Amino acid sequence: MTFPPAELEEYISPPQLHERIKELGKQITQDYQGKELVVIGVLNGCVLFYSDLIRHIDLPIICDFLGLSSYGSETKSSGVVRFTKDLSHAIQDKDVLIVEDIVDTGLTLSFLKDNLKTRQPRSLKICSLLSKPDRRKVEVEVDYIGFTIGDHFVVGYGLDLDGKFRNLPYIGIFL
């Protein structure tokens, strides 16, 4: 079996990812000057983006993670979401930044935002590497977006298809 398969094409290259993530880190650093930030990664898709992004945030940060699973097929969000892992720390009165791989229909993030708001953070913002605005079913404000893309299914750099392709160093698209 050849890996990656021939029908997978590079869509966003490693240098493009690196440059944009550096900019996001700089922006976040400026916006949260003088604050301590809790950076929450949404597993599993966030892993590569998260680890690169936090290296460009020059602030005292607390790292935490949560796991979400959407019922339904791998490629379609049903909006019915459950926690597979909860946070390790309380976020009451904290400045919180959620780090996601992609916002598609917005259903997952909308559920997550509502849930975390009940824990009364001082502020709650979202940073997503990718956004597919054409696919939105619910309006959800995304404060920091790496790349806005069209209605394509993408894999790599943390994003999966049936659990695979997360380890690719680029964002790829199936031809």
Would you name the residues annotated as active-site residues? 104
Strand arrangement of the beta sheet that strand 95-103 belongs to: 81-85, 61-70, 37-43, 95-103, 123-131, 144-148
The smaller minimum CB distance to ligand IMP, of residues 24 and 59, is found at: 24
Q: How far apart are CA 75 and CA 153, in angstroms?
A: 8
Q: How far apart are CA 111 and CA 151, in angstroms?
A: 22
> Per the structure block, which two tokens stand in for 48?
């590569």
- Cα angle 11, 17, 18 (rounded to 5 degrees) comes to 150
Q: Is 142 in the site for ligand IMP (CB under 6 A)?
A: no
CB of 77 to ligand IMP, least distance (A): 3
CB of 112 to ligand IMP, least distance (A): 9
The smaller minimum CB distance to ligand IMP, of residues 59 and 127, is found at: 127
> Per the structure block, which two tokens stand in for 129?
């590497």
Q: Is 159 in the site for ligand IMP (CB under 6 A)?
A: yes
CB of 116 to ligand IMP, least distance (A): 15
For residue 131, give the nearest of 12, 10, 7 by alpha carbon: 12
Q: Which stretch binds ligand IMP (CB under 6 A): 9-17, 19-27, 118-126, 153-161?
A: 153-161
CB of 89 to ligand IMP, least distance (A): 22
Q: Which residues in 67-106 contact ligand IMP (CB under 6 A)?
A: 77, 100-106
The binding site for ligand IMP (CB under 6 A) comprises 45, 77, 100-109, 153-155, 159
